[in-house]
Amino acid sequence: MGSLRSRFALLIALLVAGLSWMLGSLIGQDASQRIRDEVGRDLAEVSFMMVDRLDRDMQNRAAMLQVIGKLRALSQPDDITEIRVLLDRLQTEFPSIAWIGYTDVKGTVLASSDGVLEGASIAQRPVFLQAQKQVFIGDVHEAVLLAKLLPNPTGEAMKFVDISLPVFAADGSLVGVLASHLSWSWADEVRLAILEPIQKRRNVEFFVIGQDRTVLLAPKEMIGQRLHLPALNEVTQGKDLWAVQEWPDGKQYLTGLALSQGHMDYKGLGWTVIARQQLDEAYAPARETRRYILLWGIGLAVLFALVGWLLAGYFTRPLRQIAEAADRLSAGEISMIPALKGTREIETLSDSIRHLVDSLTRHQTALGVMENLAHHDALTGLPNRVALESYLPRAQQRSQANSNCLALFYLDLDGFKPINDQFGHAAGDLVLREVAIRLRGCLREGDLVARLGGDEFLMVLQVPGGEALAQAQLVAERTLGALNAPIDLGNHQVKVGCSIGGALWPLDTSNLSEALELADRALYRAKHTGKHCAVFHAASKR
């Protein structure tokens, strides 16, 4: 079995470690929820930023082409060379324009950037068919006519977004169509521009989904696939959304979504931008926080265990001194337990043990029955009725031999029952033990106090015959004062008093039994004259 000191240190270590684990779990769980909410909102915001940027760029390019379409060079196409120079300059200034051309009313390309498709007919292409009356903006598609005519360093399939518009003469008649193909790589540039700052903080992927759920922009292996996520059914224009979604790869992702809502006169193409991050990566800061809390908890547990071990040594040192003194007392090396200073409990324990040893020593000399535990009350340690019956004849003989008198006190506690009723029997037992300690403190050499039962006690005092009543009254007043002091119950303080009935032997009667009865009657009078007082038979006769 370990020492109290070791157990105390171990208990502190376990408590600190357990508290750290509990706090780590609670904080980790709360942090995970907060981080998930924060990251989810961030993903929804960057999704909106990207789809808004795409919409704005599309609207700006359409507006720019509308301005170009109103130029005299196009509305009065007298010089095709001038138109070609204009288109080449436009492509140079805006690299996202992969091809731009000017057709006649039949769809034949009259002029184009770098001369690509000049003389060819695009009459059957949507870029011409849909733009004869109003501005046409077409969704992402792969190149058909231009696939082999435009430079393609990557070798990947080329994709375009079409913007075309009619060109009218001054009289309002159609003179041609200005058609352009915007390279879809422009969307990837937008993605990279928005992704770069957030990528430093978390690993995020972007997706652009068409109106038919086809993946337009994503990692290469997913482009062209149909994506089915429950959250796609919930996202609406003007309201970004985030949710935890299971993707086709079977993994859980924090997913932010934003639906295209167009910009100004551009109504949008129904694109949805999605930003996602793996759930494990999103929770990584929370796991790291929990790990740091646990590591600090272990460190603090060791530190507090050491501090607890040192403090326990400080507080248990008086206990060891008491134990050593008790061993020396048992061996006959010393005659009493020394008084120890320290905490109130240690001092009380030291005083109690000293009083107990002193009482045992005195009673062993006077009575001889104190060596038997059966003669003592189990709760208070005071002599009981059996011990009292053995003690009284010897006290009577000693008093006669010394020409002394015996002062007999019956004591009954006042206000004890309400304490029992209000605070319980455990508190009542504590009060009785404290009363016993205080009664012992009022005794002198050769005196005895016994517990008769409940809250009733009997004190037997050796007093000189010439001033027996005065001495008895002095001890009674001291006893009343000792018991009137508050008693600490931990969370509460209570007060009890006592009533004392006294008689003197052989002054009141030569029969010791009758003297006890006289003291009992005096107690009855004391209880009925106001309590918290001492009444003596001898004094009442005067």
Cα dihedral sign, 10-12-13-14: positive
Q: What is the largest CA-CA distance in the chain?
A: 155
Active-site pick, 52, 414, 455, 508: 455
Parallel, antiparallel, or unpaired for β 534-536 and 497-505? parallel
The alpha carbon torsion through 125, 128, 134, 137 (nearest 10 deg) reads 50
Question: What own/partner pairs with CB < 8 Å and gap ≥ 24 does 42-45 have?
Answer: 42/198, 42/256, 43/204, 43/242, 43/254, 43/255, 43/256, 43/275, 43/276, 43/277, 44/240, 44/241, 44/242, 44/256, 44/257, 44/258, 44/275, 45/240, 45/256
**What is the distance between the alpha carbons of residues 503 and 460, in angstroms, rounded to a whole number?**
10
Q: What's the rounded Cα separation, in Å, for the pair 398 and 405?
A: 10
| Residue 455 bears catalytic tag | yes
> Parallel, antiparallel, or unpaired for β 205-209 and 215-217?
antiparallel
- Bridge partners (DSSP) of residue 206 are 275
Listed in sequence order, the residues at least 6 apart from 290 whose beta carbon sits closer than 8 Å to its beta carbon are 24, 25, 27, 28, 31
**Cα–Cα distance, 233 to 248 (Å, whole number):** 16
- So which residues are the catalytic ones? 455
